[in-house]
């Protein structure tokens, strides 16, 4: 029969889920866990994987040096963790019941790590997290406090808390992974030389990467609406607003049968026209998950050309062939390329046929698309001649 939870246990469970959302709450929570279950100083919570260990509350019981020493070396010699693994994961185990004092005191783990921090008795548990990952929970006592064997109720109460701790740690891990994916995605988008925007049905700009801000100006950080701060270049283009609403699936106050993708041209008075692609987009996760958006893509025709060394590396082209491929990717005609490079048109055509063979293409349009699809935007900066 399950033991009813005390008010203190219920409060700790609620705080576990709060800590899953905020790492700053773990140190105080671990101190309170020690108080609740008869430990000294604070409970120690360690995340272990095949490649190492991390103390989730390093600032309390241990200093920086001891924390680093454990994470770098002693986690592999933690006999309490080995005990918990051997006796069974997901269960609370008392060290005093399974390790004789003299055997414990002969270990390097005790001599170099536990004794300097006055750690002698422990009730501990291993919680499986993911393949190759686990969490080690340890409630410690000093030697003078005596073992936990005289407190079976404490062990039972800690056992009741374990499923909630495991769930909270898994939520924390999932959120951390999601945050890393979002940061990686944003970094990748900012590296693109293509302008990328997310726009909602109110024409508010939810996201603009670095290229979009450089291309259209800081007004994009607010809205497409005018005159409330939107960029003037956007304001003159009502067909863009219409394309955004069609991509989202709204228009004239009624729902369309399905979102529609479209392409349009944005005239610019002192620069070549921009060609925009507007497509439906439903973010799979993150802060905009429940908001239907339009994805707007544009690239500045005046952006730096794809670097010749990058084309040579990507497609195994000679320098002359890479120069022809670069010029074609920028929209130059064959006769213009011949005039600019000082060779005959037949020579340019010969280079072009070699480029077709090396890139697996057969026509100029297909070749240009292949170049733009495969040439990394990073190589434009790093491999420029």
CA quadruple 179, 382, 321, 345: dihedral sign: positive
pLDDT grade for 347, boundaries at 50, 70 and 90: very high
Q: What is the DSSP letter of 106?
A: T
Cα radius of gyration (the chain): 31
pLDDT reading at 125 higher than 60: yes
pLDDT reading at 340 higher than 90: no
Is residue 137 a contact partner of residue 55, using CB atoms and an 8 Å limit?
A: no
Q: What is the DSSP letter of 109?
A: I
Q: What is the DSSP letter of 270?
A: T
Q: Quickly tell me which residue has 């891990």 as its tokens.
A: 173
State pTM to two decimals. 0.54
Local structure of 306: helix, strand or coil: coil
CA quadruple 151, 160, 3, 33: dihedral sign: positive
pLDDT grade for 219, boundaries at 50, 70 and 90: low
Please tell me the chain's helix, strand, coil percentages from 3-state DSSP, rounded to the nearest 5.
50, 15, 30
Please spell the DSSP secondary structure of 65-110, one letter per residue. Answer: HHHHHHHHTGGGG-HHHHHHHHH-TTS-EEGGGTS-HHHHHTSHII
pLDDT grade for 377, boundaries at 50, 70 and 90: very low
Rounded to an integer, what distance in angstroms lies between the CA atom of residue 285 and that of residue 182? Answer: 9
Rounded to an integer, what distance in angstroms lies between the CA atom of residue 58 and that of residue 46? Answer: 9
363-374 pLDDT, tens digit each? 887 787 677 666
Torsion of CA 68, 73, 76, 81, to 10 degrees: -30
**Max CA separation in the chain (angstroms):** 96
**How many CB atoms within 10 Å of residue 153?**
10
Residue bearing the bigger pLDDT, 149 or 163: 163
pLDDT reading at 274 higher than 80: no
Which pLDDT value is given to residue 270? 73
With a pLDDT cut of 70, the percent of the chain lying above it is 76
Which pLDDT value is given to residue 217? 67
Average pLDDT over residues 138-145: 88
Is residue 267 a contact partner of residue 233, using CB atoms and an 8 Å limit?
A: no
Which pLDDT value is given to residue 318? 93
Q: Mean pLDDT of all residues in the chain?
A: 77
With a pLDDT cut of 90, the percent of the chain lying above it is 9
CA nearest 35: which of 4, 62, 9? 9
SS3 per-residue string spanning 342-382: CCCHHHHHHHHHHHHHHHCCCCHHHHHHHHHHHCCHHHHHH
CA nearest 43: which of 29, 62, 58, 30? 30
Residue bearing the bigger pLDDT, 182 or 220: 182
Average pLDDT over residues 186-201: 72
Rounded to an integer, what distance in angstroms lies between the CA atom of residue 93 and that of residue 163? Answer: 15
Strands (E), 143-292: 195-199, 205-208, 250-251, 254-255, 262-266, 274-281
70-96 pLDDT, tens digit each? 888 888 888 888 888 888 899 998 888
Q: How many residues does the chain have?
A: 385
Rounded to an integer, what distance in angstroms lies between the CA atom of residue 48 and that of residue 27? Answer: 18
Is residue 299 a contact partner of residue 195, using CB atoms and an 8 Å limit?
A: yes
pLDDT reading at 138 higher than 80: yes
Average pLDDT over residues 5-24: 83
Rounded to an integer, what distance in angstroms lies between the CA atom of residue 140 and that of residue 123? Answer: 7
pLDDT reading at 250 higher than 80: no
CA nearest 119: which of 157, 165, 70, 72? 70
């Amino acid at each position: 029969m399950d033991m009813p939870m005390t008010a203190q246990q219920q409060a700790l469970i609620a705080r576990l889920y709060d800590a899953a959302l905020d790492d700053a709450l773990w140190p105080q929570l671990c101190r309170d866990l020690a108080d609740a279950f008869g430990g000294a100083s604070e409970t120690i919570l360690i995340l272990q994987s095949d490649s190492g260990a991390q103390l989730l509350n390093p600032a309390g019981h241990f200093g920086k040096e001891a924390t680093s020493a454990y994470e770098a070396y002693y986690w592999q010699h933690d006999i309490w963790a080995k005990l918990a693994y051997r006796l069974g994961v997901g269960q609370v185990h008392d060290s005093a019941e399974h390790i004789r004092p003299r055997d414990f005191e002969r270990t390097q783990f005790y001599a170099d790590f536990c004794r300097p921090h006055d750690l002698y008795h422990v009730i501990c548990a291993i919680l499986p997290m993911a393949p190759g990952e686990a969490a080690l929970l340890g409630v410690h006592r000093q030697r003078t406090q005596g073992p936990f064997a005289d407190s079976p109720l404490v062990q039972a109460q800690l056992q009741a808390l374990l499923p909630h701790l495991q769930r909270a740690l898994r939520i924390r891990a999932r959120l951390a992974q999601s945050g890393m994916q979002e940061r990686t995605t944003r970094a990748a988008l900012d590296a693109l030389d293509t302008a990328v925007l997310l726009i909602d049905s109110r024409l508010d700009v939810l996201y603009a990467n670095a290229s979009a801000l450089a291309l259209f100006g800081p007004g994009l950080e607010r809205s497409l609406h005018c005159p409330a701060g939107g960029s003037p270049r956007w304001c003159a283009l009502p067909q863009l607003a219409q394309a955004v609403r069609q991509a989202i699936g709204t228009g004239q106050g009624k729902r369309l049968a399905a979102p529609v993708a479209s392409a349009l041209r944005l005239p610019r008075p002192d620069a070549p026209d921009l060609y925009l692609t507007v497509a439906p987009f439903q973010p799979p996760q993150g802060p905009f998950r429940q908001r239907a958006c339009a994805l707007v893509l544009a690239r500045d025709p005046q952006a730096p050309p794809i670097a010749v060394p990058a084309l040579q590396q990507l497609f195994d082209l000679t320098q002359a062939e890479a120069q022809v491929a670069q010029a074609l990717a920028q929209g130059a005609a064959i006769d213009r390329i011949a005039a600019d490079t000082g060779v005959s048109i037949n020579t340019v055509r010969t280079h072009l046929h070699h480029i077709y063979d090396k890139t697996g293409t057969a026509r100029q349009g297909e070749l240009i698309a292949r170049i733009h699809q495969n040439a990394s935007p990073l190589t434009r900066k790093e491999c420029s001649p």
